[in-house]
A and B are shown apart, each in its own frame.
Chain A
């Protein structure tokens, strides 16, 4: 069975990936923009926050800078697409590759340790909670704030214009919406959230590493798709809830799979489990509806 520490650890990482899933929801779902920049903007956020923290900056300011750095990375991807007409997927791969060098430059070495530094988590350890519960508490608060801001934004005039841009660009233009600007804003916002996630991840794990971004896009997508399988994303609120719960469920499922000795799975099987879980998440809703319709037919 899962130990208490492993459980809290899974929830903690799940909350961070909930922020990534918010970002992926904006790019993949709202804008219909398959954006792989996140594999670069996640370690970018971590690198910026870590370097600023070790240079003595306030960890919250460092985290804010990480958000801005993520937004800048997203804006670059979107501008490659909007201004230079590069295919969206390719544009995001170009930025992702470029960010690998940028991240190395920012850190000056492949990784930066934060174990002895004050982070956003430090003051919270004085509250008297167990050591492994502190990050969960703080990240729940961060996720709630991000959730509310994002929900309000999606319901605003600008947010509605962004949703229309992704759903029907021709109609959006006819309504006077600058669709190119909306794509730049949306992809920037998306990567800002991923930068935030990277910054928090580095602070809770005690280090920023240039390779920590590998596969973030897949885990984020797994969270998004898994969440949508559990909570049908018919409204903005439900879609955002799906992101958070999808991410937590995903991390818990991974933790259970690795902890269940009967299965004989080990850490190196992680990517295989991810692929299986994503496949299940995509296939299961279809199975559910067909079973439901069979049941209701029997009743009738």
Chain B
């Protein structure tokens, strides 16, 4: 379970470029929930995810993960609880390291690292099994450099790496946005499969309203650094993009002027 309450964060405080990114953001994600997050550019989606991961520190508010207050902890001290897949397919893996070395890094996520060999024989079966579930033939290329893989393949491996060890929450930051449509569909399908099979708790930011409604069990919309609506269960079933827009306008008395939300 992860719970964020009244998060506030202003970038460039006291400068002409002052930008309040989070203005009292509160959200609780329960065990086993798969929440999709939408919002226009500048709504605070990425900042919210970065705040949960520890990449940025909030000015005020509280972040609790599994009954532990992590608000003040840096990224690497939250890594045992928080797993992450980035938007940029190149960001989640190290291209200069081999596939097995990348997986070996991920299998020790948030744990102490010692002086024993990083790539251990006892990991091999697990690595091969999980790679073969991708059906990309990567299980026979464990020694290959990550840089030899395509963006889609690398994103698939990033996803695998994030799910190699248990986490309290999996953060997905528009992780299909930089891929071509076919690859994006493959990675999204894989995401759903992994989340379902391992019963993960996940938070997925997306730019596409359609995707936000099709995937997951709950949808949250952000606007100006706050949650404007939060729908789940029966209320969410059968909802379409235009209903979502209607809901948004009703809530805020605003019209959505960001066309990109309608795309996809």
Which A residues are within 8 Å of any B CB, using their own CB?
Answer: 153, 155-161, 163-164, 167-168, 170-179, 234
Taking a contact as CB atoms under 8 Å apart, the answer to whether A175 and B96 are in contact is no
Residues of B within 8 A of A175 (CB): 76, 79, 105-106, 108-110
Which of A156, A167, A177, A234 is close to B114, meaning CB atoms less than 8 Å apart? A156
Known: A168-B94, A174-B92. 8 other contacts (CB 8 A): A155-B118, A160-B118, A167-B95, A171-B91, A172-B76, A173-B79, A177-B79, A177-B113
Which B residues are within 8 Å of any A CB, using their own CB?
Answer: 53, 55, 74-77, 79-80, 83-84, 86, 91-97, 101, 104-106, 108-111, 113-119, 145
A289 to B111: give the CA distance in the assembly, Å: 43
A155 to B98: give the CA distance in the assembly, Å: 12
- Would you give 7 A-B contacts (Cβ < 8 Å), ordered by A? A155-B118, A156-B114, A159-B118, A160-B97, A171-B86, A174-B83, A174-B84
A171 to B74: give the CA distance in the assembly, Å: 14
Residues of A within 8 A of B115 (CB): 153, 156-158
Chain B residue nearest to A30 in the complex (CB): B96
How far does the Cβ of B96 sit from chain A's closest Cβ, in whole Å?
5
How far does the Cβ of B162 sit from chain A's closest Cβ, in whole Å?
9
Taking a contact as CB atoms under 8 Å apart, the answer to whether B94 and A171 are in contact is yes
A178 to B111: give the CA distance in the assembly, Å: 11
Which of A157, A167, A170, A171 is close to B113, meaning CB atoms less than 8 Å apart? A157
Interface core residue of B53, B106, B113, B114 (most chain A CB under 10 Å): B113
Residues of B within 8 A of A156 (CB): 113-118
Which of B75, B95, B108, B145 is close to A174, meaning CB atoms less than 8 Å apart? B75
A167-B96, A168-B93 known; A158 and B114 CB under 8 Å? yes
Taking a contact as CB atoms under 8 Å apart, the answer to whether B117 and A155 are in contact is yes
How far does the Cβ of B120 sit from chain A's closest Cβ, in whole Å?
9
How far does the Cβ of B149 sit from chain A's closest Cβ, in whole Å?
14
Chain B residue nearest to A159 in the complex (CB): B118
Taking a contact as CB atoms under 8 Å apart, the answer to whether A160 and B101 are in contact is yes
A39 to B123: give the CA distance in the assembly, Å: 43
A157 to B112: give the CA distance in the assembly, Å: 9
Chain A residue nearest to B111 in the complex (CB): A176
A171 to B106: give the CA distance in the assembly, Å: 10
How far does the Cβ of A154 sit from chain B's closest Cβ, in whole Å?
9
A170-B91, A171-B91 known; A164 and B114 CB under 8 Å? no
Taking a contact as CB atoms under 8 Å apart, the answer to whether B105 and A160 are in contact is yes
Taking a contact as CB atoms under 8 Å apart, the answer to whether A155 and B75 are in contact is no
A174 to B81: give the CA distance in the assembly, Å: 10
A173 to B109: give the CA distance in the assembly, Å: 9
Taking a contact as CB atoms under 8 Å apart, the answer to whether B93 and A171 are in contact is yes
Taking a contact as CB atoms under 8 Å apart, the answer to whether B104 and A160 are in contact is yes
A170 to B104: give the CA distance in the assembly, Å: 17
Residues of B within 8 A of A157 (CB): 104, 108, 113-118
Which of A160, A163, A168, A174 is close to B79, meaning CB atoms less than 8 Å apart? A174
How far does the Cβ of B54 sit from chain A's closest Cβ, in whole Å?
8
Chain B residue nearest to A167 in the complex (CB): B94
- Top 4 nearest A-B pairs (CB, nearest first) are A176-B79, A157-B113, A176-B110, A160-B118
